[in-house]
């Protein structure tokens, strides 16, 4: 399953701010977009919220972009992000 994430790095806290559609979420990240810290924060946040190991989450596209394509394991419960 691919989840499209629009990130907003440099926020005061990491949180889901809104959903654009069923498969696209906007997430504010507390980490700065420097040296991959925002990407690491995003993966950690998703793993915590979805109750899955970080190793099951793969950043497929958008390493240096605000729009990221995240591969999640089949059956990941996206309702936990609401």
Mark 19-41 as b/e (b = at least 16 C-beta within 10 Å): eeeeeebbbbbebebeeeebbeb
- CATH class of the region 2-75: alpha beta
* Domain residue limits, the chain: 2-75
Assign 13 a pLDDT band (cuts: 50, 70, 90).
Answer: very high
User: What distance in Å separates the CA atoms of residue 20 and residue 58, rounded to the nearest whole number?
Assistant: 21
CA distance linking residue 79 with residue 70, whole number of Å = 16
DSSP 50: H
Cα 4 versus chain centre, distance: 8
pLDDT tens-digit readout, 19-73? 999 889 999 999 999 999 999 999 999 999 999 999 999 999 999 999 999 999 9
């Amino acid at each position: 399953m691919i989840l499209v994430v629009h990130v907003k790095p440099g926020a005061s806290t990491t949180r889901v701010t809104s959903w654009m559609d069923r498969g696209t979420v906007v997430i504010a990240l507390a980490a700065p977009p420097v040296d991959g810290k925002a990407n690491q924060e995003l993966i950690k946040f998703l793993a915590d919220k979805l109750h899955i190991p970080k190793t099951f989450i793969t950043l497929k596209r958008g390493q240096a972009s605000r729009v990221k394509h995240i591969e999640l394991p089949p059956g990941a419960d996206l309702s936990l992000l609401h």
